[in-house]
Structure 1
Amino acid sequence: MPLPRLGVVIVTMGTRPQELEALLASVEKQDVRAARVVLIGNATPLTDVDVAANVTKVPLAENLGCPGGRNVGLEMLRESGEVDVVLELDDDGLLIRDDVFRTVQRLFAADPRLGITGFRVADEHGRTERRWVPRLRAGDPMRRGPVTAFLGGGHAFSMPMLKEVGLWPAEFFFGHEESDLAWRALDAGWKILYEPELVLQHPATSPARHPVYYRFTARNRVWLARRRLPALLIPVYLGVWISLTLARIRSLAGLTAWWGGFAEGVRTPCGSRNPMKWRTVWRMTRLGRPPIL
């Protein structure tokens, strides 16, 4: 089977110029060249960003959020017809090895039903936090295998998979968009692989640093349940996460924002409902993470 042609999508708000420059340099240093690289500027003109010849800059007048901005890049690559597998990388990430693209090609060439490959995220000291390992038993970040989730910071998608299941849920804007896409992929019979040899170096910052974190986390979790879960599992899923949230959040302001987002998720439109099949629920359970956690 021929090796797939690669594309890259990076979204930036222009607030991390040094990190972005280093990431673009690490993309250029790969021992396999990407056919197309698309740099999306979410509400930033990108005028001060120097890029290689194969990089297309797309400044957006409006901040579409991470999933909305990535969709712009994915649609460009899909329309070009030049890409079979696309990598998406956070603008403050870094590829520390030069064989990442070659490994991605090999993985997707070996399995035509591989839909998503998730990278291992590690900080500058090589440490991988538990929350970065896409499984419940997260003690060993080097354990490779099939999973039910992936990290948005570094991953690769099959273009045929995206054609079948659709792009990111842009309306989520920030938070849980990975779960929505992963559940759709699994429900369509695609595989998700966690490959720890694919490393994206990333600072160990807390997602709660974003002012909208608690609100969007709660709202999007409700939307996710309403969109993708069988009716019987919706109250179970939300009940579990209410309990976990009450146990974890110590800030009154954070808890207030979370409950506001939860109420917003209940009362506002969540997009089209297409619940997963019960066989997908069982498949996810066998993989170690039933869709109630």
Structure 2
Amino acid sequence: MSLGPYPTPEHIAGASGPAGPVDADVIILALDRAEDTIAAIASARAQMGITKHVWITDQGSRPENLARLTAAVADAPDATLVRLDRNWGVAGGRNRATALGQGRVVFALDNDAEFEDADTLARAVRALDAEPDIAALACRILVFSSGAEDVSSWGYPPALLPRAADSFDVCTFVGAGHAIRRRDFEETGGYDDALFFCWEEFDFALRAINAGQRIRYRGDIAVRHKVSGEHRFAWSGTRWYHFVRNRIYIGLKYGLAPASLLPRFLAYQVKGARNGVLAQGLRAGPDAIRMWRRFRPAPGTESLYRLDPAARDYLARNDAAYRGGMARRVRAELLAALPGAARS
């Protein structure tokens, strides 16, 4: 795993880069969904009270959709559309998009999301500036159409959901809308390209926490996400495969013995069987082990993969304390997979 340097992507439209220094880079990954992506770009460009540049990184949109994005960004002095050589996934795409800019804060906005207010970006940057030990700021994710809580994007212990409007330290963040201090992103090695998508935020957060930084959830800084307000998981394609593979791989990366991950892996298999994707889950285990054996930390980040006592205490206080022990969590996974339980 390494954080660049990456080949210069093809410039498609917009400015070649910012005219001068900026406080924040807004990165938006594009892969079709042109209408939503154009709205996300407009939302980012409309942010006020902060100097920023918007980087739209296309990973393989169809020609007609790329043409629409090109038209939306043409002649924009504060936005740049580039095209990568292939689809690098969420993790790899964000790495490459982040490397394009130089702002001290990087705000990642999903291409089906928009900033809630015109000063959302400015408030996120101020929040990071005010507390230098925060590596990443997790935004509140709301359903675009209603403003209700997007429970499908709640990435924290369920016990904290009633506090969604509050602020508290967490152990991960949700990709739909978040801000990362560039210094921490670079010093911890960025995202792991091998993950492709799923769990990449958790993986980064573990390294930041082990480096002595915090991840802060801010319920007063929000983005609106264009999804159903109902909990959803697409039991199709390879989504479950990536979910299981990446979570086991991350556990191995941070020093957990394969045997200690077996209860979690078995619980995933029961849940996968219940939802008709058992083959995906079974295939994920051996692949996770192969990924772990190939893994090499970025130079200078080796120590970040050995969680020290302070990091373990942080994880216990801000996550495990709200979830209960492993036995309780495995039991919850199993119960959720039984016939008659709500599908998730």
Q: TM-score normalised to the size of structure 2? A: 0.75
User: What is the aligned counterpart of 2:94 among 70, 81, 86?
Assistant: 70
Q: Is the 8 A contact 2:44 2:54 kept in 1?
A: no
Counterparts of 2:87 and 2:272 in 1: how far apart (Å)?
30
Q: Percent identity?
A: 22
Q: Which runs of 4+ in 1 moved over 4 A?
A: 290-293
Match of 2:256 in 1: 231
- Written as runs of structure 1 = structure 2, the 5 A alignment for 1:42-191 is 42-44=59-61, 46-49=66-69, 50-51=72-73, 52-77=76-101, 81=102, 83-123=103-143, 124-136=145-157, 137-140=159-162, 141-191=164-214
Q: What are structure 1's unaligned runs of at least 5 residues?
A: none
Task: Identify which range, 270-279 or 157-166, moves more after superposition.
Answer: 270-279
Q: Is the 8 A contact 1:151 1:178 kept in 2?
A: yes
Match of 2:310 in 1: 279
Q: CA RMSD in A?
A: 2.3
Counterparts of 1:161 and 1:289 in 2: how far apart (Å)?
24
Counterparts of 1:188 and 1:216 in 2: how far apart (Å)?
27
User: What is the aligned counterpart of 1:18 among 35, 44, 68?
Assistant: 35
User: Is 1:288 the counterpart of 2:311 in the alignment?
Assistant: no
Counterparts of 1:32 and 1:236 in 2: how far apart (Å)?
49
State the structure with more CA Rg.
Answer: 2
- When residues 126 and 103 of structure 1 are mapped into structure 2, their CA distance, relative to the original with a 3 A threshold, is same
- When residues 192 and 163 of structure 1 are mapped into structure 2, their CA distance, relative to the original with a 3 A threshold, is same
Q: Is the 8 A contact 2:58 2:81 kept in 1?
A: yes
Figure out how many residues of one structure are paired with residues of the other and give that number: 282
- Offset of residue 236 of structure 1: 3.4
Q: What are structure 2's unaligned runs of at least 5 residues?
A: 1-21, 298-304, 330-344
- Offset of residue 33 of structure 1: 4.2
Counterparts of 1:192 and 1:280 in 2: how far apart (Å)?
12
- Offset of residue 42 of structure 1: 0.5
Counterparts of 1:148 and 1:57 in 2: how far apart (Å)?
32
Counterparts of 1:210 and 1:178 in 2: how far apart (Å)?
22
User: What is the aligned counterpart of 1:40 among 57, 69, 74?
Assistant: 57
- When residues 210 and 5 of structure 1 are mapped into structure 2, their CA distance, relative to the original with a 3 A threshold, is farther
2:68 aligned counterpart, secondary structure:
coil
Counterparts of 2:198 and 2:171 in 1: how far apart (Å)?
16
Counterparts of 2:271 and 2:196 in 1: how far apart (Å)?
26
- When residues 96 and 249 of structure 1 are mapped into structure 2, their CA distance, relative to the original with a 3 A threshold, is farther
- Offset of residue 255 of structure 1: 1.9
Counterparts of 2:77 and 2:25 in 1: how far apart (Å)?
14
Q: TM-score normalised to the size of structure 1? A: 0.88
- Offset of residue 60 of structure 1: 1.4
